[in-house]
Amino acid sequence: MSGIEDPRPLLRRGTDGMSALVERVTPELLEAPTPCTEFDVRALLEHVLTMTLSYVHLGEGATDSDNAEPGPVRVDDRQWPTAYREAAERLDKAWADSATLDRSMSMPWGAVDGRGALLGCLLDTVTHSWDLARALDTTAGPDEELAATTLEVARRIMPAERRGGATPFAPVRPVAEDAPASTRLAAWLGRDPEWTPDRTG
């Protein structure tokens, strides 16, 4: 599907970047808004952690993403960095055996092998890294080289016409061709590329 024989090193770069951002989250920022209008920072972290644990379960043997989701996650306000770091470590271990890359899995975008499934995890991780960086109002956003690769993946997994209905992405937003790759990725997935946190309150 992608020509990427082994997405695991790319995903590790993505989870490392996300982990560095989560380290910046303090309890008073958990209710701050994010570019995902339905999520504040806490809800975004809950979503990212749940998503990561779902891919842990796929690596450990689940074959259908619908059956891989964990129960509701509950994390103490000061423990998000630890919770995400531990989940990322579990993700590495769950996919350590290269045979997982060849297993068939059912994902929301179709039947894929493990490589295709991990590209979905990469897409979510890098995109939500942009969301979190914007919410935290920091320039320490996603790895731009990685974001450029992820944008190529996004264009295949989530083409512009596949929006609305059960697809949880808004239409592609216009963005400058010379914008950072992470911003172009966010716009491709329906985010407002000009979004900034409202600090007036």
pLDDT score recorded for residue 163: 63
Residue 160 lies in a domain: no
Residue type, 53: L
Between CA 20 and CA 49 the distance in angstroms is 14
pLDDT of residue 67: 78
In a domain, 86, yes or no: yes
Residue 199 lies in a domain: no
Residues 159-181 have a mean pLDDT of 79
* Of the listed ranges 23-27, 33-37, 164-168, the one predicted with least confidence: 164-168
- Give domain status of residue 154, yes or no: no
Using pLDDT thresholds of 50, 70 and 90, give the confidence band for residue 168. Answer: low
Name the more confident of 162 and 13. 13
For residue range 189-198, list pLDDT tens digits in order.
Answer: 999 999 998 7
Q: How many folded domains does the chain comprise?
A: 1
Rounded to an integer, what is the distance from CA 171 to the centroid of its chain? 18
Q: The domain that contains 82 carries what CATH number?
A: 1.20.120.450
- At 1 the pLDDT is 47
Per-residue pLDDT of 56-106, as tens digits, reads 999 999 888 877 788 788 899 999 999 999 999 999 999 999 999 999 998
Domain annotation covers residue 50:
yes
The residue segments making up the domain with residue 62 are 8-142
Percent residues over pLDDT 70 in the chain? 94
Q: What does the pLDDT read at residue 71? A: 79
pTM: 0.92
Cβ-based neighbours of 52, under 8 Å, separated by 6 or more: 15, 84, 87, 88, 91, 121, 125
Say how far residue 31 (Cα) sits from the centre of its chain: 20
Instruction: From residue 82, give the alpha-carbon distance in Å to each of 19, 20, 73, 88, 93.
Output: 9, 11, 13, 10, 17
